[in-house]
Amino acid sequence: MNRIQRVMDIVFLLLLTLTASAFGETGMTSQNVVVYREPGRFAGWPANHGIWAWGDEIVVGFESGYFRKGEGREHAIDYSRPADHLLARSLDGGESWSIEAPESLKPPAGGRIAGVPTREDGKQPVECPGQIPFTHPDFAMTLRMESIHVGPSRFNYSIDRGKTWAGPFKVPNFGQKGIAARTDYLVNGPESCLVFLTAAKSNGREGRVICVRTTDGGKTWNLVSYVTPEPEGRDHAIMPSTVRLSPKTLLSAVRYRKWIETFRSDDDGESWYPVNRPFPQGDNPASMIRLRDGRLTITYGVRQAPFGIRARLSSDDGQTWGKEIILRSDGGCWDLGYPRTVERPDGKIVTVYYFNEAPDQERYIGATIWDPGSR
């Protein structure tokens, strides 16, 4: 064996070691796919819109605006031009996707979503008459906002897997200075649902997480609790992702300015206490789900180099978290993340997010299909 071959063998073994270390103890295999990518467009923020799954049929929402190279920590979207709210649908567990633009999901006329003007042809929200069939087998609900600080917010629901949507309906203010709704809810029964929202802080800025409930099919909603304390100064506690651990126990992963923190309730949302920080050094919302084998997985974007998408697993209801799993680390800059995650019938996980490969290129919606291994 010559010297060059020996060096190549050493490099190969080193790469194998680094890969195994990065993937932790799961023996993970993964596949990256493109969900939506168009030249000159900024596609982003699935976490704001929601994801739903019925077996291998998966639907995820996102926003598509016009790309404009940002400066510093500014999103690379043209805030002067209108954006579309779209859905991507997969019928094969995330392997391939088609794009839909339901008329009933168009934002209200003249609105601005997080500063981006919307196309002026959506309906204005109205009061919900109730009768939402939360336990319908093809049910989905999406909650959306006009401003990250003061609202107003609205919601739509579907009983045909997102092909058509009822609404939009008004989200109440619950005595707060504003509500910035994103999609995070737990169905409790035919007429009962818990929803987790970001409320404005007492100074009118974003925000802190609240828990609200309806028991009459969405006709009326009541404030149940504050999930988080009010953050001080410029900090915020926003964008929860919540799972049910038992009939009375809930766990919510909340995005702070520089970390993700989990909060637990043992009385069905009436009161909450902090547990830990699965991602202690990042500015990105999490997506947390409970797997069929009982484990939890949390996925999130990483906005520090190496930019990418990562995950952790927990086998003890979120009391501790395993090694960080690198789903991908090939991001071009910080402007990525906002994942939503579902589990396929075969046990593989589909994590959808927005991504980029270079600062001066369009932002697109991607997905990683990965195997979390066995318990």
CATH number assigned to the domain comprising residue 198: 2.120.10.10
Question: What domain range includes position 135?
Answer: 26-370
Map tokens 């990042």 to a residue. 282
Please tell me the total number of residues recorded for the chain in this structure. 375
Count of domains for the chain? 1
DSSP 276: -
Q: Is residue 79 in some structural domain?
A: yes
Residues contacting residue 29 through CB under 8 Å, at least 6 positions apart: 370, 371
Q: Is residue 325 in some structural domain?
A: yes
Q: Is residue 48 in some structural domain?
A: yes
Chain centre to alpha carbon of residue 114: 16
Q: Is residue 223 in some structural domain?
A: yes
Predicted TM-score (pTM) above 0.85: yes
Which tokens go with 156? 């739509």
Q: Is residue 296 in some structural domain?
A: yes
pLDDT of residue 115: 53
> CA gyration radius for the chain?
20
Q: Torsions phi, psi of 310, nearest 5?
A: -135, 170
Which tokens go with 257? 């300015």
C-beta separation of 300 from 283 below 8 A: no
pLDDT of residue 107: 85
| pLDDT tens, N- to C-terminus, the chain (375 residues) | 444 434 333 333 333 333 333 444 444 689 999 999 999 999 999 999 999 999 999 999 999 999 998 788 899 999 888 899 999 999 999 999 999 999 989 888 765 555 555 555 688 999 999 999 999 999 999 999 987 667 799 999 999 999 999 999 999 999 999 999 999 999 999 999 999 999 999 998 889 999 999 999 999 999 999 999 999 988 999 999 999 999 999 999 999 999 999 999 999 999 999 999 999 988 899 999 999 999 999 999 999 999 999 999 999 999 999 999 999 999 999 999 999 999 999 999 999 999 999 999 999 999 999 999 987
pLDDT of residue 114: 52
pLDDT of residue 131: 97
Q: Is residue 269 in some structural domain?
A: yes
Q: Is residue 7 in some structural domain?
A: no
Q: Is residue 41 in some structural domain?
A: yes
Longest CA–CA span in the chain (Å) reads: 78
pLDDT of residue 352: 98
Q: How far apart are CA 358 and CA 375, in angstroms?
A: 37
Q: How far apart are CA 356 and CA 364, in angstroms?
A: 6
Which tokens go with 168? 């939009």
Nearest CA to 124 out of 156, 161, 86, 162 is that of: 156
C-beta separation of 251 from 264 below 8 A: yes
Q: Torsions phi, psi of 19, nearest 5?
A: -65, -45
